[in-house]
A and B are shown apart, each in its own frame.
Chain A
Amino acid sequence: MTNPAPQPIKIVPSKKSAPLEGQEGSLYEARKKIYVRAISGAFTNWRWILVWVTQLLYYGLPWLQWNGRQAVLFHLVERKFYIFGWVFWPQDVFFLAILLIISAYALFFFTAVAGRLWCGYACPQTVYTEIFLWIEEKIEGDRNKRMKLDKAPMDARKFRIKASKHAIWVAVALWTGFTFVAYFTPLKELLGAFSPFTFGGWEIFWILFYGAFTYFFAGIMREQVCKYMCPYARFQGVMFDPDTLVITYDEERGEPRGARKKGVDPASVSKGDCVDCGICVQVCPTGIDIRDGLQYECIGCAACIDACDQVMDKMDYPRGLIRYSTENAIKKHWGRKEIVGHVMRPRTLIYGGILAVVCLAFVWGLATREPLRMDIIRDRATLSREVAGGYIENVYQLQIMNMTEAPRNFDVTVDGLEGIRISDFDGKIEVAPATMQAVTLRVQVPVDTGEPGSSNVIHFEIKASDDPSVGVREASTFLLPR
């Protein structure tokens, strides 16, 4: 009796992860189209409220007027950002940096407290997918109808349905793109460009570009954006701890899962509360099964909570088989009180503390922001020269930025050396609203003052004529010949 020769191990790829032709299987599995089942419930309502709030803001803001101009406009051509009463200049990049830090810490803080709140409710990807799914459902019908339609061969009816869906998607996407451009180019100019059709090439390009992104991300790519393209999904785990509220399936209560008749006491059939209806999987926009535990694909939209609560109601079981809970709470059978009691912990206190400090710094910075700025550039071409009357002259260029939206008069003075004066200058400069005015000043000192060389510090001071508390003082040096 001989042993059969060892067979080479054949690797049979599982059907689920069979790579597509020409694709690298180890990177991405072939995508199965996810047919998201629509659901209603408390968390779905919250998601829709957020859709309305964010989109009313996004689509509406460019139409708001303020002081006779667009209220929110990031005017790239003028290099000025108008936000209601404020005008920001490139020099105000400090505020942008602080705003980014605030966003980052807000994200850390909310993630530590309750997981991916941002992803589930407020992220544009979620919001637009929600809108596009709603359109799809209205036109193609519910989940079963959509699956049937996709399986059916192309005919006139299918073509009509698909074409109208895509047409409406494209319309929404184009409007989104148009709105996007209206944040950077005044909306009035854009509206004026409709008839006669005088859009600039780049404006058309950006409308189409942003529109195409909306269309593909919300209509076609959907959950793949979250799974493969979102950096936050990859590092979210760093901010989680056992006291973070996440969407959790109560395994102890649910298992062993299985079908049973309505109203049957689970204990009498020695089963858990999960009836294994699979609706939590059908409503999941990323197509995962929450019952497998916390997964990085979960965007925390809580659709499965709404779905499961509906099923539990039908079965006359208590709600909350899937619910917001924490790892510790599930393990130690905590109630709401203990969970809330653990929201305050070093991690959240540190994130929250930094967030509060940075927010205060932002508000303080805005409140104490001087509506005036001055840059001094000494003319390096002429250096110093002797002029008639026994004076040494240096030439400076002052760049005065009036950040208010009213014209303003400023008084300019210079000090620091004995007998210093500005030649041919009445000491007054008018600067138009929200503009930068450059002025060239010839500053002179008597020949016998100061030290030879460049160690003579002088100060330019400008003060608003109407309000002396608004002013800046900047130092420069006066060059004297050796």
Chain B
Amino acid sequence: MKQILVFWPSFLVAGIAEMVFFTVMDPQQLYLFGQPVDFSPIATYSIGFFGFWLVCAASSMLTVFFQRSADDINRL
């Protein structure tokens, strides 16, 4: 169930981040490595969402990782 702790809060935050980001940014005005993004808008939105999710999940994963008690670590 640790997976839930990693993937669920990050999913919620990614949803909010996606909304805020793409309200402000038009996907067609984005640049990727100096080139205008030429994916379809749906693809950009989708990739954006999973990008946010991934970043947030990494943060959650670190939280879970640092949450281990001294006992958990010593036992290794």
Q: Which residues of A contact B (CB under 8 A)?
A: 23-24, 27-28, 76-77, 79, 90, 93, 96, 184-185, 200, 202-203, 205-206, 228-229, 231
Contact = CB atoms under 8 A, between A and B. Distances in A.
B5 interface: yes
Contact of A93 (B1, B23, B41, B43): B23
B26 A228 contact: no
A23 B1 CA distance: 7
B55 interface: no
Given A96-B23, A200-B40, A206 B46 contact: yes
B42 A24 contact: no
B8 A200 contact: no
B45 A76 contact: yes
A202 B26 contact: no
B4 A228 contact: yes
A79 to B, nearest CB: 6
Contacts of B26: 79, 90
Given A24-B2, A185-B42, 16 more contacts: A27-B1, A27-B2, A28-B1, A76-B41, A76-B45, A77-B42, A90-B26, A93-B23, A96-B23, A202-B42, A202-B43, A202-B46, A203-B42, A205-B46, A206-B46, A228-B1
Given A23-B1, A202-B40, A228-B4, A90 B45 contact: no
Contacts of A229: 4, 8
Interface centre among B1, B12, B45 (most CB of A within 10 A): B1
18 contacts: A23-B1, A23-B2, A24-B1, A27-B2, A27-B5, A28-B1, A77-B41, A93-B23, A184-B42, A200-B40, A200-B42, A202-B40, A202-B42, A202-B46, A206-B46, A228-B4, A229-B4, A229-B8
Contacts of B24: 90, 93
Contacts of A205: 46
Nearest to A24: B2
A57 to B, nearest CB: 21
Interface string B12-34: 10000000000110100000000
Contacts of A28: 1
A173 to B, nearest CB: 18
Interface residues of B, number: 15
A90 B24 CA distance: 7
Contacts of B5: 27
B2 to A, nearest CB: 6
Contacts of B46: 202, 205-206
B42 A76 contact: yes
A96 B41 CA distance: 21
B59 to A, nearest CB: 16
A228 B8 CA distance: 10
Contacts of A23: 1-2
Nearest to B20: A93
Contacts of A206: 46
Contacts of B41: 76-77, 79
Nearest to B42: A202
A371 to B, nearest CB: 20
Interface in B33-75: 40-43, 45-46
A368 to B, nearest CB: 22
Ranked nearest first, the 10 interchain pairs of A and B with the lowest CB-CB distance are: A28-B1, A77-B41, A202-B42, A93-B23, A229-B8, A202-B46, A90-B23, A202-B43, A76-B45, A76-B41
A474 to B, nearest CB: 20
Contacts of A27: 1-2, 5
Contacts of B42: 76-77, 184-185, 200, 202-203
A411 B34 CA distance: 39
A185 B45 CA distance: 13
Contacts of A202: 40, 42-43, 46
B74 to A, nearest CB: 16
Contacts of A93: 23-24
A204 to B, nearest CB: 11
Contacts of A76: 41-42, 45
B57 to A, nearest CB: 14
B3 to A, nearest CB: 11
Nearest to A209: B46
A8 to B, nearest CB: 16
A100 to B, nearest CB: 10
Nearest to A89: B23
A206 B45 CA distance: 11
B37 to A, nearest CB: 14
B71 to A, nearest CB: 11
